[in-house]
Structure 1
Amino acid sequence: MDYRLVFSTLNETCNQTLASLSDTEDLPYGEVGERLVVCIRQIQAHGAALEPVVASFTNVYHHYDFDEETPGNGYRTLVKVLLSCLLHIIHKARYISSNLRGAFFRADHNATEMEAYLSALCQLRALLHLAQTLLNDTPCGQLCTLQDAELSRRFVQEYSSMHKACFYGRCLGFQFSPSLRPFLQTVVISMVSYGETYGKQQSGIGKAALSLLTSGKYVMDPEMRGAEFERITQNLDLQFWKSFWNLTETGLITGFNRIASNPVQVNLTLSVPPMTLQLPLASDPSLSTNVSPPIAHWGPGPVLMRLISFEIREGQDSEELLSFSRTETRPMSMSQLPWVQKQPLSPWLLIHFHGGGFVAQTSKSHENYLRNWSKELGVPVLSIDYSLSPEAPFPRALEECFYGYCWALKNCHLLGSTAERVCLAGDSAGGNLCITVSMKAVSCGVRVPDGIMAAYPATLLTTDASPSRLLTSIDPLLPLGVLAKCLNAYTGMGSEAVQPAVGQGSLSSLSRDTVLVLSDLTHSASNWIQSFLDPKRTIDRPSPQPPAPPLLNSTPLASTPNRSGCSDAVEYPEGFEPLRSKCFAVVHPTSGPILKNPFASPLLASEQLLRGLPPVHIVASALDALLDDSVMFAKKLRAMGQPVSLSVVEDLPHGFLSLSQLSKETEEATRVCVQRIREVFQGPNCTTILENSPRQEGTQQSTGQ
């Protein structure tokens, strides 16, 4: 849909709704009717101001794409998100106009809904203004302000003071595929409920039970949910996020994932001792080089891995492999399973690095799609459980992943493969590690993998501003405050002391004492019931501060002082100022020399380090805050003549691989990833630059891009 049609439809619909509201003498709405009139007039004012801004973006944003066949960058995304918000407003205004005199019309509810979208529209207008500043202050075609630290600092400053709760209440997930919105609502409600119990002396399962039973009030009160989510994402420490994300590895959730995914005959967790490896040099296989075990921060230690295989292959039930196993249930020998035919060694091997912001999760969190990949591709999958930050900051994870990669090359016969072709695959932080492990292989002279599939990778570990990173102000899965905490933890700039990780990773730290569960359930049930009887009642602590109220007077939006109090604050158009939060965020911008280390931020790597990389296949999401990382890295590789492809899927959030079974859209995006891996295994016959899938093109047409 053309943006001009959206704006003209918005204006026409608002006029029709105002006309319907003008004759309300016989309707008992009173103040609520006045609220609707004021709200709709302000929406029209925002629309009139935004249309020329959108026009300026649509005239130039094609210059920032990877190529003509792959339209995707942060400027396009911001326009798309704005149009999506306007379409929701149009739909709601039409409903009000048509049902105003209906017997079941809930005037106050509909007025509150419109006010929520007015707040979102106001904040999106501010983000587009910030994007205009980026557009004006960066060279044409450049998406990130790598040379302008001041502009990035102002971006962080604005994020800290801007009101964001409106995006986590009634408007939650409006920009994503409709099939994912119930899931996003569940995640946000779970997070704020879990935040209530965080820090209490309870078991992990007890906290989860209490969270479940206290979530009722957040279902009934979206405004409270939004305000509490804003507080949590801005001010709770990193340990909260590690704890919450690791809930995905509790028995109940992993059990469900295993039921929903394909069963496999091999699922072994391995612990490889730290011994020096000898590998042949890539340039001259008659010579060899030594690969040392990981030593950063606390010296040599074992590397944990998980081997997944849909079928039992030669070597996978060998005593040599089982000597590394930490799994209580080992694969049956062929004598115990005479009806199972052992498969020969596969010529392919998939080595996987999981996501989780470098700070959370393990292969167990990603097991659901790894099982499916093993079946679809007919390949053994080895996932490396690297040590996590802040206990194990850079370069520990990189050292462990590189060592695991080298160990797999040397011991591929134990994994059920000849490793004729090896593919690295990972998502988010794991995508970063796929690239940096390959860079390390180039620099050490060992064999590089035959290809990389990196899903929404983090290639720039800084808070430098880019148009897609402005989405961290509205993204429920990747807010800027959380992103900055993860990056600072990985680069060793966090406040937590660096100590050896107990058990090397989080696999061994997930078991919890369950003694208090019954008392938790009893106590929580009472509070849960009371929350339905009295929605204003909170549990064991005061109510969160309410969100900043939207500007709902009939006069133009008044300019208010910037909460940051800085003289160099962003200047907005006269008569406009975004809403400010009552919950000021403390975001520590990323800093330090490690951020510029090319093995931490591969986007900053020299051509010498990047030359020699295998084909890199990047699968990004148009609504991901890290989209511009992918676009910029792909463009850099292409400019060097390196083989690279970029696919951009629509309407999905960061982390869509872990959501692969939730909707058709996530299933199709996962299939794109699988296809890229298959192309690596099938050899160099695939084209260098690949087109978007038919689904992606259809989605872009449907949104007017």
Structure 2
Amino acid sequence: MDHKDVFATLQLVCSDVILALNGCRSSSSNAGATDRLLGVMRQIQEHGRAVEPLITGFTAVYHHFDLDAQTPANGYRTLVKVVHSCVAYILQKARYIASNCAGAFFRMDHNVSEMEAYCSALCQLRALLYLAKIILNDNPHGQLYPQEEGGLSERFVQEYISMHKACFYGRCLGFQFSPSLRPFLQTVVISMVSFGENYKKQQTGLGIAALSFFTSGKYVVDPELRGTEFERITQNLDLQITSTVVQVNVMLTIPALSLSLPLASDPSLSVSVSPPVAHSGPGPVKDSAELFGLSRQEGPQLSLPGGFSRHTAPLSPCLLIHFHGGGFVAQTSKSHENYLKSWSKDMNVPILSVDYSLAPEAPFPRALEECFYAYCWALKNCHLLGSTAERVCLVGDSAGGNLCITVSMRAMSHGVRVPDGIVAAYPATLLTTDASPSRLLTLIDPLLPLSPAQQFDTLAALGQDTVKMLSNFAQGATNWFQTLLEPKATTSSNGPSPSEEKPQVQEYPESPQVQEYPENFEPLRSRCLVDMRTPCTPIMKNPFVSPLLSSDSLLKGLPPVHIVASALDALLDDSVMFAKKLRNMNQPVTLTVVEDLPHGFLSLLQLSKETQEASDICVKRIREVFQQEEPPADQRQAGSS
């Protein structure tokens, strides 16, 4: 349906609800709730009238920001899509109210709460559209990020953090995503707020999990309380979640010895690659090797460091090297094994997943050094991994996607062989705090919420003192969902607990810091205001931290880059702009954008058909790098069952 028709329908349906409520008001036993609902429907009409011209403006120009006509995706399109999703739910609920409000079994209070929540969401989305309009007017044609330094991003952050967010974490939670993921998101948010309420209590990890289970009930029955608590936690609480331990085939520790590799330009010459030395000096690199998939059981003996040996099949010509996500501060290769095992079985290739050191204890460039060293070691010792490494593919998600690109850049700068291709899922390519339309989505995203410890970028805590890693969280029944989160860096492990900490209550500001709202409009304001300063460090502009800022000479010669992004991801614009940059340089690049999925969708592989299909797209791109033929559909279905 055309957006003009959508908003015309919204006005009509709201009028129908108002007419129906006025008709049954005299006989209603809850006149107060009826009056509240009448007021809400009028507010929705007002928001709809204001939002329609904004949407019209974006739809007229957003195609200029796409990679190409075959890839219609960018942050402006995403904002329009999210608004349409919100309006669609309002229409569905409003039609129900208009048809049933006079019925004896109509729950007035419940429906008032539903419409109030979505009215608040529409109000905040309206504010985001105003902010996006400023970005559109300030940026050059076709650019999703500012090209010059200035105060715009800091002004946006200060305005942004003052905006009310709890409405997106209560009844409206996950409305923009695939319906199959909403129960999972609800479980995540309820578990986080329950755990946040209890994690400072003097209990073991299992005890905290038990307490969280018993306190979670109130957040199930009271969505408004859940939303308020989640906003408060993400704004004020230093909370970090790590993944649970799962079994792997082989754990390798690479010794810190210099490697000698042939030069890519002249194999008769060699180059020496030193072990990682940044910050903590030379040290080993740990790797998790998924050798030969789950089905290989026969073959000659293979000896590995540490006295390990196992049966192997003939060496594979392909080798997949994986760098995990987690904002550079959390998670391990183990937390991503749910999809790595599936890929290993589907493609029948060995997968090496690297456990690099995490910030802030090991800040940049330690992770890059370790991943590059592991890559070089794998090239030199591919036979130990069950491969001849005739074709090598680097794969990573989020921060891992960033490392795939920067490791390849480092390989070029050292003169060693570059991989045959890169598959990067929703990569972080710009780690500065620059505003973009897609990054506004952090206001509504339960998996990437903006907080003082998180900022806009995932490397904001490179210089922080410590990260609180709560490795004992939910040793019981709830630990299954931990690997599905990508927590960001935190500031200190010594903050007060949620039960002790009181949110900082301030008066609502008289006017927003970005003076671009109409005179008769003000977004809802948060009562959990905090002091957030945008980090100002040259590290973020280092091309090996933010490859989007790299010069053409640093990127020239990269292997084919295949990016798989999500239309609802706050990092979407990172993917679009990086793909544009490579294409403008005539570098081989593809961009595939999936719909209705959040950041981190690979870790949600087993939750829905949509996440499985997104994973299959990544596998297809890896096969292209390996030049493998895709198996028949019946075999794929049998393999995934």
* TM-score, scaled relative to structure 2: 0.90
- Offset of residue 489 of structure 1: 5.2
Aligned partners of 2:35, 2:279: CA distance in 1, in Å?
Answer: 63
Secondary structure, counterpart of 2:318 in structure 1: strand
Contact 1:304 1:384 in 2 (8 A): yes
The answer for the alignment partner of 2:529 in structure 1 is: 584
Give the corresponding residue for 1:442: 412
The residue identity in structure 2 corresponding to 1:421 is R
**Residues 230-288 of structure 1, C-alpha deviation per residue, up to 9 Å, x if partnerless?**
01111112xx22xx2x1x315xxx4xxx8xxxxxxx71111111010000000000000
2:433·2:456 contact (CA, 8 Å) conserved in 1?
A: no
Please say if 1:391 is aligned against 2:375.
no
- The equivalent of 2:616 in structure 1 is 671
TM-superposed CA distance for 1:204, in Å, is 2.6
Name the TM-score, length of structure 1 as normaliser: 0.82
- Asked if residue 269 in structure 1 is aligned to residue 251 in structure 2, the reply is yes
Unaligned runs of 5+ in 1: 259-265, 326-330, 335-341, 518-538, 550-558, 687-705
Aligned twin of 1:690: none
- Shift in CA distance, 315/460, structure 1 to aligned 2, threshold 3 Å: farther
Q: For 1:162 and 1:36, how far apart are their aligned partners in 2?
A: 24
Contact 2:264-2:417 within 8 A present in 1 as well = yes
Q: Which residue of 2 aligns with 1:2?
A: 2
Do structure 1's residue 351 and structure 2's residue 321 form an aligned pair? Answer: yes
1:170 alignment partner, SS class:
coil
2:114 counterpart of 1:113 = yes
Identify the residue that residue 303 of structure 1 maps to in structure 2: 285
> Secondary structure at 1:392's aligned position in 2?
coil
Would you say the 8 A contact 2:273–2:373 is kept in 1?
yes
Partner of 1:90: 91
Return the offset for 1:682. Answer: 0.4
The C-alpha deviation readout for 1:369-393, integer Å capped at 9, x for no partner, is 0000001111000000001111111
Is structure 2 residue 244 aligned with structure 1 residue 249? yes
Pairwise mapping of residues 540-579 of structure 1 onto structure 2 (< 5 A)? 541=499, 561-562=510-511, 569-579=514-524
Separation of aligned partners in 1, 2:82 and 2:42: 21
Determine the C-alpha separation between the residues in 2 that align with 1:376 and 1:280: 32
* 1:318 corresponding residue in structure 2: 302
Name 2:21's counterpart in structure 1.
21
Letter in 2 for 1:280: P
> Kindly tell me: are residues 185 and 44 of structure 1, through their superposed partners in 2, closer, same or farther at Cα, counting changes over 3 Å?
same
Q: Distance in 2 between matches of 1:512 and 1:36?
A: 42
| Alpha-carbon distance in 1 for matches of 2:114, 2:506 | 16
Candidates 396, 405, 412, aligned match of 1:426: 396
Q: Indicate yes or no: 2:343 matched with 1:361.
A: no
3-state DSSP of counterpart to 2:544: coil
Secondary structure at 2:353 match in 1: strand
- Contact 1:393–1:490 at 8 Å: present in 2 too? no
Given that 1:353 and 1:401 are in contact with CA atoms closer than 8 Å, whether structure 2 keeps it comes out as yes
Secondary structure of 1:642's aligned partner: coil
CA offsets 1:13-54 (integer angstroms, 9 cap, x no match): 001111101112112121111001110001001101111110
What's the CA shift for 1:210? 2.1
1:597 has 2:542 as partner:
yes
Which segments of 5 or more consecutive residues in structure 2 lack a partner in the other structure?
A: 477-496, 631-641
Whichever residue aligns with residue 318 of structure 1, its letter is L
Opposite residue 357 of structure 1, the aligned amino acid is G
State the distance in 1 between where 2:10 and 2:455 align: 39
- Tell me which residue corresponds to 1:283: 265
Aligned 8 A contact 2:74 2:572 in 1:
yes
Q: Is 1:640 aligned to residue 585 of structure 2?
A: yes
Q: 1:392 to 1:546 in 2, by over 3 A?
A: closer
Q: CA deviation at 1:570?
A: 3.0
In 2, distance between residues paired with 1:186 and 1:601?
34
> Deviation at 1:155?
1.1
Query: Partners in 1 of 2:260 and 2:458 — Cα distance?
Result: 34
Given that 1:314 and 1:345 are in contact with CA atoms closer than 8 Å, whether structure 2 keeps it comes out as no
Aligned to 2:427: 457
- The answer for the alignment partner of 1:134 in structure 2 is 135
SS of corresponding position for 1:481:
coil
Change (3 A) 1:178 1:316: farther
User: Aligned residue for 1:155?
Assistant: 156
Contact 1:614 1:643 in 2 (8 A): yes
- For residues 90 and 175 of structure 1, the distance between their equivalents in structure 2, rounded to whole angstroms, comes to 15
CA contact (8 A) 2:432 2:456 kept: no
Aligned counterpart for 1:484 among listed residues 444, 448, 454:
454
2-structure distance, mates of 1:403, 1:276: 9
3-state SS of the aligned residue for 2:264? Answer: coil
Q: CA deviation at 1:486?
A: 8.8
User: Which whole-Å CA distance do the structure 2 matches of 1:489 and 1:222 have between them?
Assistant: 32
Q: What CA distance in whole angstroms lies between the structure 2 residues aligned with 1:546 and 1:47?
A: 33
Residue deviations 1:196-249 (CA, integer Å, cap 9, x gap): 123333323332232222111110111111111001111112xx22xx2x1x31
Q: Contact between 1:146 and 1:464, CA under 8 Å: does it hold in 2?
A: no
How far apart are 1:312 and its partner, in Å? 3.9
Say if 1:448 and 1:367 are closer, same or farther in 2 by CA, change over 3 A. same
Residue of structure 1 in register with 2:373 after alignment:
403
Determine the structure 2 residue equivalent to 1:99: 100
Given that residues 394 and 491 in structure 1 are in contact (C-alpha distance below 8 angstroms), is that contact kept between their aligned partners in structure 2? Answer: no
Deviation digits for residues 586-630 of structure 1 (CA, Å, limit 9, x no counterpart): 333132010010000000000010001000000000000000000
On the 8 A contact 2:454/2:460 being kept in 1, the answer is no
Equivalent pair of 2:237/2:498 in contact (CA under 8 Å): no
Structure 1 residues 379 and 547, CA, compared in 2 at 3 Å: closer, same or farther? farther
- State the distance in 1 between where 2:56 and 2:172 align: 25
| CA gap 1:623/1:97 in 2 versus in 1, 3 angstroms | same
Which residue is 2:575 aligned to?
A: 630
What do the CA deviations read for 1:60-100 (whole angstroms, capped 9, x no partner)? 00000010000000000000000110011111111111111
**Percent same amino acid at aligned positions?**
64
AA paired with 1:480? L
- Residues of 1 paired with 2:610 and 2:522: CA distance? 37
CA deviation profile, 1:507-564 (whole Å, cap 9, x unmatched): xx946899xx9xxxxxxxxxxxxxxxxxxxxx99379769999xxxxxxxxx96137x
Counterpart secondary structure, 1:623 = coil
1:214 paired with 2:215, answer yes
Hey, what's the Cα distance between the residues in 1 that align with 2:503 and 2:39? 25
Equivalent-residue separation in structure 2 for 1:450 and 1:166 (angstroms): 46
SS at match of 1:249: coil
- Name the counterpart of 2:183: 182
- Check whether the contact 1:235–1:586 (CA below 8 A) recurs between aligned residues: no
The 5-angstrom pairing of residues 215-230 of structure 1 reads 215-230=216-231
User: For 1:675-705, what per-residue CA distance to the aligned partner results, in whole angstroms no more than 9, with x for missing partners?
Assistant: 011100008x99xxxxxxxxxxxxxxxxxxx
Q: Please name the residue that 2:171 is paired with.
A: 170
Q: 1:641 to 1:483 in 2, by over 3 A?
A: farther
Q: CA deviation at 1:319?
A: 2.4
1:50/1:104 CA distance change after superposition, 3 Å: same
* Farther off after superposition, 189-198 or 140-149: 140-149
8 Å CA contact 2:208, 2:473 repeated in 1? no
1:420 maps to a residue whose letter is E
Distance 1:197 1:33, change over 3 A: same
CA distance in 1, matches of 2:543, 2:22: 62
Q: 1:487 to 1:314 in 2, by over 3 A?
A: farther
